[in-house]
Amino acid sequence: MQNQNKQPGKPQVTALIDRRQIILGSLTLLAMAVLLIVGLTPRDASAPEPDTAQVGGESAITLAADCALVQHIAYEPCGHQITRRQALPPDLAGKTRADLEAAYADWQVTSYAADEVVMAQRLAMYCPQHMVLMPDDSGMLCVFQNKYGDALALVEELNIPLSDLPDSYQEELRPGKGFSTQEELAQWLEAADS
């Protein structure tokens, strides 16, 4: 009777899994098992990770009295960078990396040795190559210049209230506007005044 239900020329549909699927599934499970075994295998405790060894070794290094500080400063508004080399302050001689990092909290130490420390910092101010026009605390326009690498110094008071300029110019000057020369600054002021 079963033979009567079969129709000639039509393949019989069965719910069998293809051999390729079984092999692929088995290989996938095998690969996952190998990765799990490798991941759970304990590591040799006597061989510390390279980063741990380096940091542990650096913590024991103390700064020499003649240590040089190499400071890389990047200035965000103008995109310029400078490098300066300074002597270690005497009060840090014989101190550790942690002491140095506490004293230079705004800096990132990129290289540490007893005789030389390299550090980097990004500042939201113009570099020493620029004259900076901006208002002082009282709202009067002044010219500043970065004479020390990390701080602006007053160069000239202009006795022009920021409020005398159009609103668009005021917004531009509040954070400070950099100029390469005094002449560029004067030309900009003339254009803003007219």
pLDDT of residue 193: 75
Domain check: are 60 and 117 in the same one?
Answer: yes
Q: Which of 32-41, 60-69, 89-98, 161-170 has the lowest mean pLDDT?
A: 32-41
Instruction: List, for residues 28-68, the tens digit of each pLDDT value.
Output: 877 777 777 766 666 544 444 444 444 455 668 999 999 99
Parallel/antiparallel/unpaired status of strands 140-146 and 152-161:
antiparallel
Confirm whether 2 is domain-assigned: no
Domain check: are 113 and 137 in the same one?
Answer: no
Contact 65, 93 (CB under 8 A): yes
Burial of 140 (0-12, 13-18, 19+ CB in 10 A): middle
Domain check: are 141 and 113 in the same one?
Answer: no
Q: What is the mean pLDDT of residues 132-157?
A: 93
CATH number at residue 73: 3.10.20.420
Instruction: List, for residues 145-154, the tens digit of each pLDDT value.
Output: 998 888 999 9
Confirm whether 140 is domain-assigned: yes
Q: What is the mean pLDDT of residues 134-143?
A: 94
pLDDT of residue 38: 67
Domain check: are 98 and 152 in the same one?
Answer: no
Confirm whether 189 is domain-assigned: yes
Confirm whether 61 is domain-assigned: yes
Domain check: are 87 and 145 in the same one?
Answer: no
Confirm whether 39 is domain-assigned: no
Domain span including residue 67? 53-123
Q: Which of 20-24, 117-121, 141-145 has the lowest mean pLDDT?
A: 20-24
Confirm whether 100 is domain-assigned: yes
Instruction: List, for residues 70-81, the tens digit of each pLDDT value.
Output: 999 999 999 999
